[in-house]
Amino acid sequence: MDLAQVGRQFKADWVIYLEINRLSMYEPGSANQLYRGRASVNVNLVDVSKPDDTPKSKLYVCQYPNGGHPIPVDMDSMMFREKFLDSMARQLAWHFSRYPQGANRMME
């Protein structure tokens, strides 16, 4: 089923399709002793009313924690993963929801 069909089935105006290229939890070169989440995701936005149009697309790249130092593996891996994915989900959601004036939206 193509993305426009999925959108029609759910009576949606838009479909957001995330294609994960890379997802990692450890700082490179740390022998898995330091956490630093990294992700590379293709974000595609399909207008269900225009299924023949090329979807709007953008590459989303993130790092957690952003800046600062990586986190020692003393923290439980499930807890780190939850915090990393929560941070990533919040950043992605900001691009598709109403946000205070002056904020950039991902697909505009």
Q: What are phi and psi of 5, to 5 degrees?
A: -65, -40
Instruction: For CA atoms 13, 44, 3, 48, give the dihedral sign.
Output: positive
- State the CB neighbour count (10 A cutoff) for residue 55: 19
CA 96 to chain centre: 11
Longest dimension (CA), the chain: 50
Write down the pTM of the prediction: 0.79
- State the CB neighbour count (10 A cutoff) for residue 52: 6
- pLDDT tens digit sequence for 26-85: 999 999 999 999 999 999 999 999 989 988 999 999 999 988 899 999 989 999 999 999
Quick one: tokens of 108? 């505009």
87 vs 69: CA distance, rounded Å: 16
- pLDDT tens digit sequence for 13-22: 999 999 999 9
The answer on pLDDT for 1 being more than 70 is: yes
Mean pLDDT of the chain: 89
